[in-house]
Amino acid sequence: MTASTGDIEKAADVLRGGGLVAVPTETVYGLGGNAEDPAAVARIFQAKGRPADHPLIVHLAGAGQLGDWVAEVPETARVLAERFWPGPLTLVLRRGPRVPLEATGGLETVAVRVPDHPVTLDLLSAFGGGVTAPSANRFGSVSPTTADDVRAELGDAVDFVLDGGPCEVGVESTIVDVTGSAPAILRPGGVTREDLEAQLGRPVAVPSTSSVRVPGQHPSHYAPRARVVLTEPELVAAEAESAQESGLRAGVLLPPGFAAASVKAHAVVAVPESAAAYARGLYGFLRDLDRQGCDLIVASLPAQEGLGLAVANRLRRAAGPRPSSVPDLRDS
């Protein structure tokens, strides 16, 4: 059921009182708090089990508010905001005095975006201020794309859940750093590299994760409980079958063009042909395979163009090493 006007008023009150509200966006659900309230920001980190040096995104009602939150708005930022907001684009800019260091993990830059969802835009207008919102999942886990996912992830740690239906884009926003001489994609997401380049009329770099110092770039992220194994498309079925033979329950994200009926696995999801549909479904597929008790999930990377770049990024991160020194918060 979608949030009513009364729900939005109530959510704004919760934010004013220092509480946490789960908010629908076009990308994934966020766990929102008043950006200017360090106690609310601290509660977000606690609810997620997220280390305090991981910066948050400040969500605003419109591009017109940008100047209130950042120290300066470079031309590139202005052009991108005008074209892509509201939408799945986050800009990293120099921090303005309104943003507490608690929200930026101590950085002098701040990530800002205007989400494209009517419920949350109404909430942001009613509230009036900025709302810091990381994805509403436990740290390292799969981002929620429905209100039920949020409840399953966070339970009582969130004071109020605004239901805005399933997320349209399904993967997080594209993060672009516009503080340097050339814009750079820190995280591929809902706005494609091709769209950014067309708008700016110049190439936009996607630095490899190992060369960028972005807080939050742990090897394993966006991860289901099941181990994720990546292989070539034509080897997916064989990999799953051999896992089954060794007594494991194999889940499969079967690439387009392969017949699901012939795959010997515990559970098979036929991946949609279009990258946009894959992005929209990805986190739901991973959650589904977890729910079905898979020990591992075998997948291949889609072509890394358009939204395929973001899908491939999330699959790689989900398959990343899970260091035993890091407590497994995904189950807690």
> Least distance from C-beta 1 to ligand TXA, angstroms?
21
Q: Considering beta carbons, is residue 132 or 300 the nearer one to ligand TXA?
A: 132
Q: Out of ligand TXA, Mg ion, none, which partner does residue 153 contact, by CB within 5 to 8 A per kind?
A: none
Q: Out of ligand TXA, Mg ion, none, which partner does residue 175 contact, by CB within 5 to 8 A per kind?
A: ligand TXA
Phi-psi region of 271 (alpha: psi -120 to 50; beta: other; left: phi over 0): beta
Q: Considering beta carbons, is residue 169 or 265 the nearer one to ligand TXA?
A: 169
Contact status, residue 323 vs residue 219, Cβ threshold 8 Å = yes
> Least distance from C-beta 85 to ligand TXA, angstroms?
12
From CA 212, how far away is CA 215, in angstroms rounded? 9
Given 90, 135, 146, 300, the residue binding Mg ion (CB under 5 A) = 135
Q: Considering beta carbons, is residue 98 or 249 the nearer one to ligand TXA?
A: 98
Q: Considering beta carbons, is residue 52 or 235 the nearer one to ligand TXA?
A: 52
> Least distance from C-beta 25 to ligand TXA, angstroms?
5
Q: Considering beta carbons, is residue 25 or 135 the nearer one to Mg ion?
A: 135
272: exposed, middle or buried (Cβ count in 10 Å: 0-12, 13-18, 19+): middle
Kindly determine how many residues on this chain lie close enough to bind Mg ion according to the rule CB under 5 A. 1
Q: Out of Mg ion, ligand TXA, none, which partner does residue 115 contact, by CB within 5 to 8 A per kind?
A: ligand TXA
From CA 67, how far away is CA 320, in angstroms rounded? 38
Q: Considering beta carbons, is residue 107 or 238 the nearer one to ligand TXA?
A: 107
Using CB under 5 A as the binding rule, whether residue 141 contacts Mg ion is answered as no
- Helices in 70-224 by DSSP H: which ranges? 75-84, 101-104, 118-127, 147-154, 193-200
Q: Out of ligand TXA, Mg ion, none, which partner does residue 56 contact, by CB within 5 to 8 A per kind?
A: ligand TXA
> Least distance from C-beta 217 to ligand TXA, angstroms?
7
From CA 192, how far away is CA 29, in angstroms rounded? 20
Using CB under 5 A as the binding rule, whether residue 146 contacts Mg ion is answered as no
Q: Out of ligand TXA, Mg ion, none, which partner does residue 215 contact, by CB within 5 to 8 A per kind?
A: ligand TXA
Q: How many helices (H) and strands (E) does the chain have?
A: 11, 13
Q: Considering beta carbons, is residue 48 or 95 the nearer one to Mg ion?
A: 48
Using CB under 5 A as the binding rule, whether residue 145 contacts Mg ion is answered as no
Phi-psi region of 297 (alpha: psi -120 to 50; beta: other; left: phi over 0): beta
Q: Considering beta carbons, is residue 50 or 225 the nearer one to ligand TXA?
A: 50
Q: Out of ligand TXA, Mg ion, none, which partner does residue 55 contact, by CB within 5 to 8 A per kind?
A: ligand TXA
From CA 192, how far away is CA 201, in angstroms rounded? 14
Phi-psi region of 46 (alpha: psi -120 to 50; beta: other; left: phi over 0): alpha
List contacts with ligand TXA (CB under 6 A).
25, 27-28, 30, 54-57, 90, 92, 104, 107, 109-111, 115, 133-135, 172-173, 175, 186-187, 214-216
Question: DSSP letter string over 76-121?
Answer: HHHHHHHHH-SSSEEEEEEBPTTS-HHHHTT-SEEEEE----HHHH
The first and second tokens of residue 289, run together, are: 């395979």
> Least distance from C-beta 229 to Mg ion, angstroms?
22
CA 314 to mean position of chain CA atoms: 9
Within a 10 A sphere around the Cβ of 3, how many other Cβ atoms? 23
Q: Contact residues for Mg ion (CB under 5 A)?
A: 135
